[in-house]
Amino acid sequence: MSHAATESAATAVQDDPSLVPVARAVDLHKVYGAGDTSVAALDGVSVDFWPGQFTAIMGPSGSGKSTLMHCLAALDSPTAGAVFVGDADLTRLGDKELTRIRRDRIGFVFQAFNLVPTLTALENITLPMDIAGRTPNQAWLDTVIDTVGLRNRLEHKPSQLSGGQQQRVACARALAGRPDIVFADEPTGNLDSVAGAEVLGFLRRSVSEFGQTVVMVTHDPNAAGYADRVLFLADGRIVDEMAEPTADRVLDKMKHLDARPAAAEHGG
């Protein structure tokens, strides 16, 4: 693996921590498999995620959205390029250090909730900290629990909660340790529109009120409308970006992006 990109990116990092992205990808490549069957899931992605910003990532199925999030969250390793969380270059760290960064600095929300069925909502929320041997900050925990509206559901098991409530538990779990950044991969994909709006409202508040940094993959223009910016991915590359998105503008952009390859195919 080449470290040329790594070094030039490292020297670009500023002294003032507020001017350092919470996470960044530098010319990220990810190839699955080898030979004829290899797939370039990421094909040169460079992007910065700034403190207190809510970013949505959109793109067709298979465009590399999950792969990008997994590489940024230290759940997968890129084939080439660099990933920084703060000033730490993940591609240069060993397993122990990666585990610590995942645990202490990153929160992740999955489409399928991924709660432990035998634990209560509260136990699920504090599980990562319990495993890490960290004592939750009670005031912060209370804030998170009240913000997601789970105060009177804390003793319930996941099976006793609706899908929306389960995802709010998963969001609370991701935020309870006050991570530097929360990644959410289609967090509303299994929810009806009302429950989805609750989860999105909570993610929005975590950014606007608590300064959380959030990156969310979604297929839904309405969901993207909650974000501060949208990245559009196609074939493993960032092909477009939108600031201050609204659902209507995102929908319009998606139509244009979809139209391009189709026009080329049928154009003559």
Cβ proximity to Mg ion, 6 vs 67, nearer residue: 67
Cα gap 74→15, rounded to integer Å: 24
Cβ proximity to ligand ADP, 83 vs 145, nearer residue: 83
> Which residues, other chains included, contact 37 with Cβ-Cβ below 8 Å and sequence gap of 6+?
none
Give the 3-state secondary structure of 187-208.
Answer: CCCCCCHHHHHHHHHHHHHHHH
136's contact among ligand ADP, Mg ion, none, with CB below 5 to 8 A by partner kind, is none
Contact residues: ligand ADP, CB under 6 A: 32-33, 39, 41, 59, 61-67
In the complex, minimum distance from the CB of residue 32 to ligand ADP, in angstroms, rounded to a whole number? 3
In the complex, minimum distance from the CB of residue 57 to ligand ADP, in angstroms, rounded to a whole number? 8
In the complex, minimum distance from the CB of residue 10 to ligand ADP, in angstroms, rounded to a whole number? 26
In the complex, minimum distance from the CB of residue 239 to ligand ADP, in angstroms, rounded to a whole number? 13
Return the residue of 53, 66, 91, 165 that touches Mg ion, per CB under 5 A: 66
In the complex, minimum distance from the CB of residue 267 to ligand ADP, in angstroms, rounded to a whole number? 25
Greatest alpha-carbon pair distance for the chain in Å reads 65
Cα gap 190→193, rounded to integer Å: 10
* Secondary structure (3-state) at 259: helix
Cα gap 222→248, rounded to integer Å: 8
Count residues binding Mg ion (CB under 5 A): 2
What is the Cβ-side half-sphere exposure of residue 52, based on CA atoms within 13 angstroms?
6
Q: Which of 25, 164, 171 is nearest to 110 (CA)?
A: 171
Cβ proximity to ligand ADP, 122 vs 230, nearer residue: 230
Among the listed ranges 66-74, 116-124, 145-153, 199-207, the one in contact with Mg ion (CB under 5 A) is 66-74
Segment 26 to 65, residues that bind Mg ion, using CB under 5 A = 65
Cβ proximity to Mg ion, 59 vs 177, nearer residue: 59
Cβ proximity to ligand ADP, 6 vs 66, nearer residue: 66
63's contact among ligand ADP, Mg ion, none, with CB below 5 to 8 A by partner kind, is ligand ADP
In the complex, minimum distance from the CB of residue 246 to Mg ion, in angstroms, rounded to a whole number? 24
User: Which tokens in the block code for residue 48?
Assistant: 């910065």
CB 199 within 8 A of CB 170: no
Segment 165 to 184, residues that bind Mg ion, using CB under 5 A = none
**Dihedral sign computed on CA atoms, order 248, 254, 255, 257:** positive
Cα gap 268→266, rounded to integer Å: 6
Cβ proximity to ligand ADP, 65 vs 168, nearer residue: 65
Binding site for Mg ion (CB under 5 A): 65-66
